[in-house]
Amino acid sequence: MPELPEVETVVRDLRAALRGKKIKEMVFFSPHLERRQPASAPAPDRYRGKKIEEIRRRGKMIIFEIEGGLGLLVHLKMTGQLILCSPARPSDKHTHARMSFYGIRKELRFRDVRKFGFLTCLNLCDISQKVDSSLGPEPLAMNFSDFRKRLLVYGKKKIKSWLLEQKIIAGIGNIYSDEILFRAGLRPERMAGSLDKTEARRLWNSMRFILKKAISLRGSSVSDYVDATGETGRFQLEHRVYGKEGEVCRRCRQSVIERKKIGGRSSYFCPACQK
C-alpha cells in the first residue's frame, strides 16, 4: 500500500502539473466508484470549469481543493494509481475515472486493480471534518515533545502497532514502520510507553530520516506503486529489513532478519540490532 512518501510524491507531481488549471470534464466509468459517493456528494458536472486551487496530502490521503468550496478526496489503498497521461493512451478496465483540463493536454486517470481505493466528490468543509476526525498529526510536522507525549498516552500499544495506527500518527504503514524501527534499533513488540527518553529521541530521529529519505527517492515500489508519471520509486533499494526474512542483516552482518506477526501485521526485524 502506498504510504506517506509515495503519496507525497504523487501529490507533488500533481500539484506541479495541475495547480491553477481548470477542470474540463470529470467522468466516472465504474459503478463501484459511483456507489461509494456519499449522498451529499456534489455531482461531477459541478466540477466543470472550476479551478484546482491546491492539491495536498494528509496521512495517506490526497485532497484536491477546488474553486467554489468543492473538493475531491482520494485514497489509493492497495493498488490505486493517479496517473497523468496523454488522452491518446489506451485505458484498460482498471481505469475507473478520468479528468481532463483546460490548458494541458494530459488527462488524469484513477486506476485501481483491486478496487479498495476511493475517489470521492465532497464539499471541502466535509473533507476537513472527515480527515481531521480520523487522523493523528503528521509525523514530519510534529515536534519531539508532542511525539513523546503520544508515546506515553498510547503507551500500552506495541510500538509497531503504534506507528501503524493512523489516529495516533498519520501516514506510516508496514514498510516504513519496519525500516524506522530498524534504524532506531528498537524491537517492534516493545510497548510504546516503555521507551525511555533516549530511545524515544532515536525513534523520532529515525522516523524523520527514513520518511525524508524515502520522499527524496520518490517512494518505494514493491508491488503496484508508480508515481503520477508512471515511474517507479527508488527507496526499495534502501530497505534494510522489510521483506528480507532469512537474509543476513546488512548492519551487523551476523544475524538473520526475522519475521513476526504483531497485531496481525508482518514485522521484519534484526534480533541482534534491535533491542
- Residue ranges binding Zn ion (CB under 5 A): 249, 251-252, 255, 270, 272-273
Q: Of 132 and 247, which CB lies nearer to Zn ion in the complex structure? A: 247
Q: Of 10 and 273, which CB lies nearer to Zn ion in the complex structure? A: 273
Cα–Cα distance measured from residue 271 to residue 169, given in angstroms and rounded to the nearest whole number? 26
Q: How far is the CB of 143 from Zn ion (least distance, A)?
A: 30
Q: Of 47 and 269, which CB lies nearer to Zn ion in the complex structure? A: 269
Residue 2 annotated as catalytic: yes
Q: How far is the CB of 266 from Zn ion (least distance, A)?
A: 18
Q: How far is the CB of 169 from Zn ion (least distance, A)?
A: 25
Residue 42 annotated as catalytic: no
- C-alpha 17: how far from chain center: 20
| Per annotation, catalytic residue among 5, 8, 42, 60 | 60
Cα–Cα distance measured from residue 259 to residue 268, given in angstroms and rounded to the nearest whole number? 4
| Per annotation, catalytic residue among 77, 148, 265, 271 | 265
Q: Of 162 and 268, which CB lies nearer to Zn ion in the complex structure? A: 268
Listed residue (32, 19, 86) closest to 98, CA to CA: 86
What is the bridge-based pairing of β-strands 70-75 and 265-269?
unpaired
Q: Which residue is nearest to Zn ion (CB)?
A: 249
Cβ atoms of residues 259 and 266 within 8 Å: yes
Q: How far apart are the first and last CA of the chain?
A: 27
Q: Of 152 and 252, which CB lies nearer to Zn ion in the complex structure? A: 252
Helix, strand, coil distribution of the chain in percent, nearest 5: 30, 25, 40
Listed residue (131, 72, 127, 138) closest to 99, CA to CA: 72
Q: Of 26 and 270, which CB lies nearer to Zn ion in the complex structure? A: 270
Joined together, the cell numbers standing for residue 273 give: 540490532
Residue 21 annotated as catalytic: no
Q: How far is the CB of 268 from Zn ion (least distance, A)?
A: 11
Is the alpha carbon torsion for 34, 37, 39, 40 positive or negative? Answer: negative
| Per annotation, catalytic residue among 3, 8, 65, 107 | 3
Cβ atoms of residues 30 and 64 within 8 Å: no
Joined together, the cell numbers standing for residue 12 give: 507533488
Q: What are phi and psi of 158, to 5 degrees?
A: -65, 145
Q: How far is the CB of 250 from Zn ion (least distance, A)?
A: 8
Cβ atoms of residues 160 and 265 within 8 Å: yes
Residue 265 annotated as catalytic: yes
| Per annotation, catalytic residue among 2, 42, 44, 188 | 2
Q: How far is the CB of 257 from Zn ion (least distance, A)?
A: 8
Question: Where does residue 27 rank: exposed (0-12), middle (13-18), buried (19+ CB within 10 A)?
Answer: exposed
The catalytic residue positions are: 2-3, 60, 265
